[in-house]
Structure 1
Amino acid sequence: MRKLAFFAPFAATIAFAGIAAAEPATVNVTIGHELQRDAENLGAREVQEQVDRLTWVLQSRLADSAELEGARIDLVLTDLKPNRPTMEQLVKRPGLDPLRSRSIGGAAVEGTVVLADGSTRPVRYDWFSPSLADVQGSTTWTDADRAYERLARNLANGRYTVR
């Protein structure tokens, strides 16, 4: 009985903390019409993986954002450029080198944020490497990942439209 009496205050504290926990923002990402057409060239599986990656980055980076507590974030991935050839591109164009072929990469996103109070904010963000000299990534989607991280940082700081 003593053990139960000892743990009761801790259990009450944990239960209360669970009730008072904030609801993180809900993130929904879809593919834009033009990017759906490009998906044939880039590879549908890789484009879907980028949608999943963007969703994960936003959910994880915005989980502690007090301003976006209970918000609904609906985004459309409108443009996506890899730094290195995708598998689909390598299959279609055998002359591409998976290691030495590189290009300007990045991503563009549009959508809305519906805050917990019901107000709606438009979201518009894109980031692409300015030149080949600035491409430092060693993976296919380095610059797209950089764009996702920067978008998450901007949303957490209340900046919804940055171009």
Structure 2
Amino acid sequence: MTTWTVGEVMRTDVVAIAAGETVLMAWELLERTGAAHLPVLLPDGRCSGLLDRCDIAVACSAPAVVLSALDVGTLVSGRRRVAVRAQESVRKAAFAMTENGCDALPVLGSGGRLVGLLTASDIVAALVRNPAPGPRAAEGGPIGPFSMTPGLGPRRDDRVNPVP
């Protein structure tokens, strides 16, 4: 992972929305595509920010009169904009995600134009495709999943912990 670039791991099939579109349109777009994140684009193609399902769901809790006039550009204005470039390391991007408490970053090209999206899921998927060598991977045995019950330590035998 330390040598991967964002461009090698990011997704390029990104659904985006224009800054002037309504919050209702953003919700409809998320619902139709199943996307979890929605980059907001300015008329010149530059990325203005990134919204996720929670941001839009909270905005949709406003009265209908407000929703018809509320655009997604308003939701991203005044927010700190965190983004990465395709040539940066995945390690640096993961650090930016951790420091800013986010699980996705828009990937920008020349002039601030959106070229992709890097999510925490993309990083995990890359790790699964290219697992680091280790004792378990070398043995070829199963890595998981393991059943766990919150609050109880894992058992070392084949019995399943009952759920209280």
TM-score (norm 1): 0.24
Task: Give the number of the structure whose residues are more often strand, by fraction.
Answer: 1
Task: Give the number of the structure whose residues are more often helix, by fraction.
Answer: 1
TM-score (norm 2): 0.24
Structure of greater relative contact order (alpha carbons < 8 Å, 6+ residues apart): 2
